[in-house]
């Protein structure tokens, strides 16, 4: 099942307070970037983030879910909590390696 444009728009609206959030459509789903780093994506109308150390600390009870068959598990983020999302994306990006 592909994600809806409406769900993408909702998530982007929730992230509107953060500068540097972009997305790219990919095979019916959406990859999300923060400051140029892939931090997660929207898969089957679910917002999943990379399970970095910071993400695990900010989302201690979040379930791990597969974005698609054969992929690595990611954490399911609560898109209704804007304050959490405002802390989550920068933290996940900070845990990722610097671009070469």
Closest CA to 10 of 48, 42, 58, 49: 42
What pLDDT is attached to residue 98?
78
Whole-number pLDDT of residue 100? 58
Residue 9 contacts by C-beta under 8 Å, 6 or more apart in sequence? none
Give this prediction's pTM. 0.93
Which domains are present in the chain? 5-95 (3.30.1460)
DSSP H helical segments within the chain, as ranges?
5-14, 53-58, 82-95
**pLDDT, tens only, 75-94:** 999 999 999 999 999 999 99
pLDDT digits (tens, 9 = 90+) for 21-69: 999 999 989 999 999 999 999 999 999 999 999 999 999 999 999 999 9
More confident: 13 or 2: 13
**Dihedral sign for Cα atoms in the order 66, 32, 63, 50:** positive
Whether 99 shows a pLDDT value over 80: the answer reads: no
- CA-to-CA dists, residue 27 to 14, 24, 63, angstroms: 23, 10, 24
């Amino acid at each position: 099942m592909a994600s809806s444009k409406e769900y993408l728009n909702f998530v982007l609206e929730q992230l509107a307070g953060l500068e540097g959030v972009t997305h790219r459509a990919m095979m019916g789903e959406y990859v999300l970037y923060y400051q140029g780093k892939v931090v997660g994506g929207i898969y089957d109308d679910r917002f999943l983030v990379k399970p970095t150390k910071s993400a695990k600390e900010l989302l201690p009870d979040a379930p791990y879910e597969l974005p698609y068959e054969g992929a690595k598990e990611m954490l399911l983020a609560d898109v209704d909590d804007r304050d959490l999302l405002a802390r989550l994306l920068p933290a996940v990006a900070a845990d990722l390696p610097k671009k070469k």
